[in-house]
C-alpha cells in the first residue's frame, strides 16, 4: 500500500491537504469548481444549509445542502496550474487517509462540475449562450507530465488539429480529453450547446490577443474556429477545462465544464452585463443539477 511522504503530500497543522485546507468529510460527492473566489458565495447563497467553510489563498470552499443534495463549491483561481493543485488535493482529501498517509481501499468517485466564463469561437454562438464542453483541447501541455496520459488522450483529434493549424514544434503538444458522458448526457438539452473547448495557458497571446506584444502564432482564432473533427467544432476558449478533464479521467472522477459565453471573439462582442451573465450560468446550472 502506498505511503506518501511529507514532502509529496503536504498537510497543514489540522491534518488537511495544504492548499485547499480540506479533509474528506468536508467534501460532498458533487463538487462545483469556479475560478473566481467571489463566485463561491454567490452559489452557496442558494443553499438551504451551509455546514462548512474554509479559505486559504485563492481557494475558498463552502459545503452545504441544495434541494436536499449535499454540494461542495471550491474556487480554483485561474489556469491549469491551479487546476493541477485542486484536482490532486481534492482527490487526496477523499481517497487518502490523511492520518496514516495511505491510500484508502475503497475509493470515492466525485462528480465535478466547472462553472466558468468563456469566449465563443463560432460566430453563431451569441453572448450569454451556455456551453457544455464535450472535449477539452489542451494547448497548455500539463497532462503530458503525467504517466498514462496517452490512455485518455484522443490522438486522432490531436493529429487532425496539428495538421489543420500547422502547429509549431516550439509550442506544447496539444492533447484532447472527453467529458464524462454520464454528466454530459444530462446537459444535452436545447438550453446548452456543446462542442470542443480549447484551453489556453494564458489570456493574451495564447488566446490570440495582442496589445503591446505580438503573438507568435498568427490567426489563432480563425484557425480554431475553422477546425472540425467528425461532427465537432471548437465552440469556445478558456483556461482550465483540458487539465480538469485529463486529471479527472486519470484519477477516476466524472467531470463536466459548463460555461457562459461573455464574449464572442469572432464578432468582437463582449457582454454588457457580466453579473447578469454569471447569474444566468449559476441559476440555470442549479436548476438542471436539482432536476435529473
Mean pLDDT estimate for the chain: 96
- pLDDT given at position 143: 98
Neighbours of 58 (CB within 10 A): 15
Closest to 276 measured CA to CA, from 108, 128, 74: 128
Give the single-character DSSP code of 25. Answer: G
Place 19 in a pLDDT band, splitting at 50, 70 and 90. Answer: very high
Read off the pLDDT of each residue in 188-192 and give the average, rounded to a whole number: 88
Find, among 199, 203, 147, the residue nearest to 172 by Cα: 199
**In this structure, are residues 71 and 30 in contact, taking their beta carbons and an 8 Å threshold?**
yes
| 18: its cell numbers | 495544504
Predicted pLDDT of residue 2? 79
Coil vs helix vs strand at 69: strand
Give the pLDDT confidence score for residue 104 in this predicted structure: 96
Q: What percent of the chain has pLDDT over 90?
A: 96
DSSP secondary structure letters along 131-156: EEEEEEEESS-GGGGSTTGGGTS-HH
pLDDT band at 1 (very low <50, low <70, confident <90, very high): low
Q: Domain 115-292 class? A: alpha beta
Q: Does residue 37 carry a pLDDT above 90?
A: yes
Residues 218-253 pLDDT 10s = 899 999 999 999 999 999 999 999 999 999 999 999
Shared fold status for 1-108 and 115-292 = yes
The top-level CATH class assigned to 1-108 is alpha beta
pLDDT of amino acid 41: 98
DSSP 178-219: EPPHHHHHHT-STTEEEEEEEE-SSSSGGGT--SSS--SSTT
- Sequence-distant (6+) residues with CB within 8 A of 93 are 16, 17, 20, 22, 23, 24, 26, 27
pTM beyond 0.95: yes
pLDDT of residue 291: 80
Which residue ranges make up each domain of the chain?
Answer: 1-108, 115-292
Task: Concatenate the DSSP letters of all residues of 227-284 into one string.
Answer: -EETTEEEEEEESSHHHHHHHHHHHT-EEEEEEEEEEETTTTEE-S-HHHHHHHHHHH
Q: Model confidence over 51-86: pLDDT tens digits?
A: 999 999 999 999 999 999 999 999 999 999 999 999
The tens digit of pLDDT for each residue in 198-216 reads 999 999 999 999 999 999 9
Q: Tens of pLDDT along 120-177?
A: 999 999 999 999 999 999 999 999 999 999 999 999 999 999 999 999 999 999 999 9
Amino acid at each position: 500500500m502506498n505511503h506518501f511522504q511529507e514532502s509529496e503530500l503536504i498537510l497543514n497543522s489540522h491534518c488537511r491537504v495544504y492548499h485547499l485546507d480540506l479533509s474528506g468529510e468536508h467534501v460532498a460527492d458533487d463538487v462545483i469548481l469556479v475560478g473566481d473566489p467571489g463566485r463561491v458565495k454567490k452559489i452557496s447563497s442558494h443553499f438551504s444549509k451551509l455546514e462548512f467553510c474554509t479559505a486559504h489563498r485563492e481557494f475558498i470552499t463552502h459545503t452545504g445542502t441544495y434541494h436536499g443534495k449535499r454540494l461542495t463549491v471550491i474556487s480554483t483561481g485561474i489556469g491549469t496550474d491551479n487546476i493541477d493543485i485542486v484536482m490532486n488535493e481534492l482527490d487526496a482529501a477523499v481517497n487518502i487517509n490523511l492520518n496514516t498517509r495511505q491510500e484508502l481501499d475503497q475509493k470515492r468517485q466525485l462528480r465535478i462540475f466547472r462553472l466558468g466564463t468563456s469566449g465563443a469561437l463560432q460566430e453563431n454562438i451569441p453572448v450569454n449562450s451556455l456551453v457544455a464542453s464535450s472535449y477539452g483541447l489542451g494547448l497548455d501541455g500539463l497532462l503530458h507530465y503525467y504517466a498514462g496520459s496517452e490512455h485518455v488522450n484522443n490522438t486522432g483529434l490531436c493529429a487532425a488539429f496539428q495538421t489543420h493549424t500547422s502547429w509549431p514544434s516550439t509550442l506544447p503538444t496539444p492533447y484532447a480529453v472527453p467529458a464524462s458522458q454520464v454528466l454530459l448526457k444530462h446537459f444535452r438539452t436545447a438550453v446548452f450547446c456543446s462542442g470542443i473547448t480549447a484551453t489556453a495557458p494564458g489570456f493574451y497571446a495564447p488566446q490570440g490577443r495582442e496589445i503591446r506584444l505580438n503573438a507568435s502564432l498568427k490567426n489563432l482564432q480563425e484557425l480554431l474556429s475553422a477546425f472540425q473533427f467528425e461532427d465537432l467544432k471548437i465552440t469556445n476558449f478558456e483556461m482550465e477545462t483540458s487539465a480538469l478533464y485529463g486529471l479527472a479521467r486519470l484519477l477516476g472522477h466524472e467531470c463536466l465544464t459548463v460555461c457562459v459565453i461573455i464574449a464572442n471573439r469572432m464578432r468582437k462582442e463582449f457582454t454588457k452585463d457580466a453579473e447578469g451573465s454569471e447569474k444566468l450560468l449559476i441559476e440555470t446550472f442549479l436548476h438542471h443539477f436539482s432536476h435529473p
